Structure 1
Amino acid sequence: MEITDILTDLIDEDTDQPRYQFDEEALQELMKSIEELGLLSPIKVRATGNGRYKIIYGNRRYKACKMLGRPTIPCLVSTVTDETEIYLEQIAENLTREGFSPIEEAEAFNKLLHDPKFSSSIKYLSSKLGKPEAYIKNKCDLLKFGMAVKKLIVSGTEIRKDKLTEDQLLPIKDLPIEYRDPLALIIARDEMPVSDVKKIARLFKDKSISSATKDKLLYKTGPALLETWSIYEQNKAEREKSAVPKTTKNAPRKKDTKPDKNEQQEQRSAAPIEDQLQRLLASLLAHTPVPADNMDINTNHKDVFLKDVDQLIDNLEKHLAEWKNIRDRVKKSIQIF
């Protein structure tokens, strides 16, 4: 395709193109390169009538040349008119360039799949762009997250503070939004590796843990959530182990032997009280001292605050008395045996 110098003033940007985020520092570096060496790679445009042209790809190079005051820009003039083909070419070109963010990529795929102007399929996009179908699906799943999370998503796999990679988000993408976004922000803040994220995701996917408990878990830090997962898994394994009947090696099996009433009562009550204990442990937040200089309370709210504190203390004291009694009873039964 022949390269043609076109007047900069006759070229228009494509506001619908998939890439819209441009790093200012990188743009300044590109300007410096063009000033010293010239534009090494032409931009691609298409004629739009009235002697004007619209960019297919090369927006960043166009911006740099315009800011440098270049009167003309070397261009490749395309004769393609099909909107789908043009948009696919824009995506393919940007996939080879630095700075094309995962969210820009996801939005471009989503547009091709759902915009009536395109109405493409994942299979079609996969064949045209040379990307696996799973790759396209995973990118589109990033759009499930809210704007606060999307702003933190970056390319690559490096774990950085207050940033999120695609790999960190995939384990939690199918969680309900009330857990998904808060967890994503915790993961970014605490720089959690993917292996830890997968463990925490399993905790929130566990249907045996109540919604109320999961809500309380969101107040924990990433490391505290990981510790909760570890304790929960250990206790779960112990419960499963204790649920398996123990038999003496080579001992004859008794037929039609039924437990007496006391044994039946013990079997019925043991599992619920253990589950209740685990749920309580999972819901309790790790103790963090309240700073002495953080006692400013709105005068209008003091009565309500004191009432809430009294209610909290009352509940905690009841729990404490009850579980101390249970502990003493269990210790006593151990001593008997």
Structure 2
Amino acid sequence: EEALQELMKSIEELGLLSPIKVRASGKDRYKIIYGNRRYKACLALGLPSIPCIISEAASEQEIYLEQIAENLTREGFTPIEEAEAFHKLMNDPRFSSSIKYLSSKLGKPESYIKNKLELLKFGQAVKKLVVSGTAIRKDKLTEDQLLPLKDLPLEHRDPLALIMARDEMPVSDVKKIARLFKSKDISASTKDKLLYKSGRELYETWSVYEQNRAERAKPAEPKAKSKAKEAPPAAQAEDTAQIASSTPHGRVESPVDPNQAVAAAPVETVKFPDIRPADALATESPASAQPSAANLSASDVAAPLLMQVEQLLAILEAAAAPTEQTMPESAQLSDADHARLRSDLERLTERLETELHGWRGVLQVLYSSTR
């Protein structure tokens, strides 16, 4: 009713800018193909006539296609309404259209129609949240947010979609979380447990899981290990010092099994029982690289690591995150700057989370060595 009043006001001030479309249904009688709201608004305004276009469409299919073509230009036509219209044209016995035929008639790529049809895989609770456009909004879903989840099983697909809507997850994060749930290394029961997490927690779980998967995928170096065993203690100590100084930020690159990975993330502990555990942390225990007191002191080995920690603390103190008071207002940023800032911050937080996990590994080794 409110929308109709706005339309009436617009027609009263500017006139009818776009004629309606009709088809002949008898002598001096016509049936509206599209423009029913415009017709009602003109009728309510008491206008004696209304401009219209008489369609030459002969079949019901052609008429329906004209209606869809008109609706595609209408702002209020949602992606789900589009999908349902395409589905009707393809599956209703009266039409039985192919995607290729619809593409040629409507001037839309076949991929556009296929993506719309994929939205119908989701349940009603998800469908009612779908909106047009690409802006991420709370408790709403864009087509770009939904499509990465379309191939997941129903029991994971819809709950994940609702989590993504609730937590306003960016499309890039949704894609990563979808990859986590597509992994064949993780059991269905574990994935069920992951559904109790928030969107941000799911992203953090993906980050830890991917890092440790990359660690386990690194090629083994048995020859290098055997040489290290034969080397004198002083040489081993020298190697340890070099590794500590050359590794970015002094991170200890030790493979961790998925159970430890999820536990390291600041979220609820979730086990990955069906993933083959990697080598234990003990493979890089400081004991295996302990120098002899005669050749190199413990402080000499620790010096590069201590220096890196102190440098990191100084950098973090100088580059502390801005407070709400010091943050620039969104209105002061151009669209390009806003998009770039958001993208850079996503990369920064992802990198920080990865490095945080590495330093936790260092701390874990230190705890183990003092027990």
Question: 2:220 is matched with which residue: 244, 253, 258?
Answer: 244
Q: Which of 213-222 and 37-46 deviates more?
A: 37-46
By how many angstroms is 1:147 displaced? Answer: 1.0
Aligned letter for 1:183?
L
Deviation at 1:122, TM superposition (A): 0.6
SS of the residue corresponding to residue 248 of structure 1 reads helix
* Structure 1 Cα separation of the partners of residues 137 and 171 of structure 2: 12
Correspondence for 1:286: 268
- TM, length-normalised to structure 1: 0.67
Aligned-partner Cα distance in 1 for 2:2–2:145: 27
Deviations 1:273-300 (A, max 9, x none): 965635874999538xxxxxxxxxxxxx
Alpha-carbon distance in structure 1 between the residues aligned to 2:4 and 2:186: 50
Summarize the Cα distance change of 1:68–1:146 in structure 2 as closer, same or farther, 3 Å threshold: farther
1:134 partnered with 2:116: no
Correspondences of 1:249-264 after superposition (within 5 Å): none
Q: Find out whether 1:204 has 2:181 as its counterpart.
A: yes
| Residue among 207, 211, 218 paired with 2:195 | 218
Identity of counterpart residues, as a percentage?
Answer: 73
SS in 2 for 1:44: strand
For residues 265 and 64 of structure 2, what CA distance do their matches in structure 1 show? 50
Please give the alpha-carbon distance, in whole angstroms, between the structure 2 residues aligned to 1:158 and 1:25: 25
Q: Would you say the 8 A contact 2:21–2:53 is kept in 1? A: yes
Which of 205, 209, 230 is the equivalent residue of 1:232? 209
Gaps of 5+ in 1: 1-23, 252-272, 288-326
The answer on whether the counterparts of 2:212 and 2:258 sit within 8 Å (CA) in structure 1 is no
The reply to whether residue 183 of structure 1 matches residue 165 of structure 2 is no
What's the TM-score once normalised by structure 2's chain length? 0.61
The Cα shift of 1:59 comes to: 2.1
The answer to whether the aligner puts 1:173 opposite 2:150 as a matched pair is yes
Name the count of aligned residue pairs. Answer: 252
1:78 CA displacement: 2.3
Partner SS state of residue 156, structure 1: coil
Q: Alpha-carbon deviation of 1:137?
A: 0.1
SS at match of 2:32: strand
Q: 1:67 to 1:220 in 2, by over 3 A?
A: farther
Deviations 1:207-238 (A, max 9, x none): 11011111111111110000000011111112
Determine the C-alpha separation between the residues in 2 that align with 1:284 and 1:211.
Answer: 22
Residues 121 and 31 from structure 1, CA distance in 2 versus in 1: closer, same or farther, beyond 3 angstroms?
A: same
| 2:11/2:42 contact within 8 Å kept | yes
1:96 and 1:280 mapped to 2: Cα distance? Answer: 47
CA RMSD in angstroms comes to: 3.1
Specify the alignment match of 1:156 in structure 2: 133
Q: Given the alignment, which residue of 74, 80, 84 partners 1:97?
A: 74
Counterpart-to-counterpart distance in 2, 1:39 and 1:157:
31
Q: 5+ residue gaps in structure 2?
A: 228-254, 270-279, 290-371
Structure 1 residue 51: deviation in Å? 5.3
Q: Any idea what the Cα deviations from partners look like across 1:140-189, whole Å, max 9, x if unmatched?
A: 10111111111111111111111111111110011111111111111111
Partner Cα separation in structure 2 for residue 187 and residue 276 of structure 1:
24
> Which amino acid is the alignment partner of residue 248 of structure 1?
A
The aligned counterpart of 2:99 is 122
